[in-house]
Structure 1
């Protein structure tokens, strides 16, 4: 059991170190040596958990996305008005993108890697667009947005506005 706990600590150190390095240098300029140095781990420890820089970057994307989803969970309760939820999410994104290196790295990497997928091949942008479209539809149904608006278009605008605030 102690070995498993140590392996998890090492994996976490690698992920945290990778997030910091990817933020500082970008995906293209980051090397695994930079990440090993930042995480204070050996090459063997890094490769035990991640087979390549791309796999590691995708794991950072996944973890950043998980943290963002967890932070937004309370706003997605059906009792929270949809427009209020969308506004709250935009504040959370701006806050986490400046305070949490994993979330900030997720945003940068998802753009730098190019296809917006984590290790499970889930396209995070499609998921965000779908989630925001559901919120827009609900806001229309709740009377907070005009009934003739297209929920998918509102979703794209919300995502672009949030990205602009974060940039």
Structure 2
């Protein structure tokens, strides 16, 4: 058991180190030797787990995908509030999680890595599904379509992801809250608007600034 646990720790350390370096320096300049040195792991141990830098990048994408799935699955309740909460949680995670940031970048650049998932596409499809449900339950205002809202939300999230990598203030609770506070009055009419919280309804949504 101790050997298995040590192997898991070594693998995770390599993935975390690779994500940090890919995010800081880009995929091409980073060598396996640099990754193993940052992780405190021998080159032999690295090659035992990952035969190539591309395989290591794919592991980053897979782990980032799992973390994105956790974010979207944590949101419960009415579809539009679920979406608000998930966007807050995504911004929070992108600020603190190098694996998630690197996974988004690597998965969307097929010129560098042939990733098994496109995480931006995964997020887009989840957003579209949430808004389809909101439209079917009658939450959206007259004349507002689920696809139009999805386009705006996906574009905003992509902007936060990209700009936040250079200026973490884009990941802030205030930024995401401001986006929803501006958008919600256009999306929802009547009493339903008062039931929605632009700042997020989950406790961990409001826990970061």
Q: Which band: TM-score by shorter chain?
A: 0.7 to 0.9
Asked whether the equivalents of residues 27 and 113 of structure 1 are also in contact (C-alpha less than 8 Å), the reply is no
Among residues 120, 125, 135, which one is paired with 2:120 in the alignment?
A: 125
* Bigger Cα Rg: 2
1:27-76 CA distance string (max 9 Å, x none) = 1221111111111111111111111111111111111121122133121x
* Structure 1, gaps ≥5 residues long: none
8 Å Cα contact 1:63-1:102 kept in structure 2:
yes
Residue 107 of structure 2 contacts residue 113 of structure 2 at CA under 8 Å; is this kept in 1? yes
> CA RMSD, aligned part only?
2.1
Please give the per-residue CA displacement for 1:107-129, whole angstroms capped at 9, x wherever unaligned.
222234458864xx234333322
Structure 2 segments unaligned to the other structure (5+ residues): 163-209
Asked if the contact 1:18–1:57 (Cα under 8 Å) also holds between the matched residues in 2, the reply is: yes
Distance in 2 of aligned mates of 1:147 and 1:141: 12
Using the alignment, how far apart are the partners of 1:152 and 1:44 within structure 2? 49
CA distance in 2, matches of 1:101, 1:23: 7
Q: Is the 8 A contact 1:115 1:123 kept in 2?
A: no
Give the counterpart of 2:85 among 88, 93, 99: 88
Rounded to whole Å, the distance in 1 between the matches of 2:46 and 2:147 is 41
Deviations 1:108-166 (A, max 9, x none): 22234458864xx2343333222111101011122222465553443333211111122
Q: Distance in 1 between matches of 2:136 and 2:61?
A: 33
Partner SS for 1:29: coil
The number of residues matched between the two structures is: 162
Answer whether contact 1:117 1:124 (CA < 8 A) is retained. Answer: no
User: 3-state DSSP class of the match of 1:65?
Assistant: helix
Question: Cα gap change, 1:111/1:126 in structure 2, threshold over 3 Å: closer, same or farther?
Answer: closer
Task: Pick the aligned partner of 2:158 from 135, 156, 163.
Answer: 163
1:61 maps to what in 2?
A: 61
- Provide the rounded CA distance (Å) in 2 between the counterparts of 1:147 and 1:116: 43
Q: In structure 2, do the counterparts of structure 1 residues 124 and 56 end up closer, same or farther at CA, with 3 Å as the change threshold?
A: same
Structure 2 Cα separation of the partners of residues 149 and 54 of structure 1:
43
Contact 1:10 1:41 in 2 (8 A): yes
The DSSP-based 3-state class of the residue aligned with 2:28 is helix
1 CA distance for matches of 2:78 and 2:91? 20
Q: TM-score, normalised by structure 2?
A: 0.69
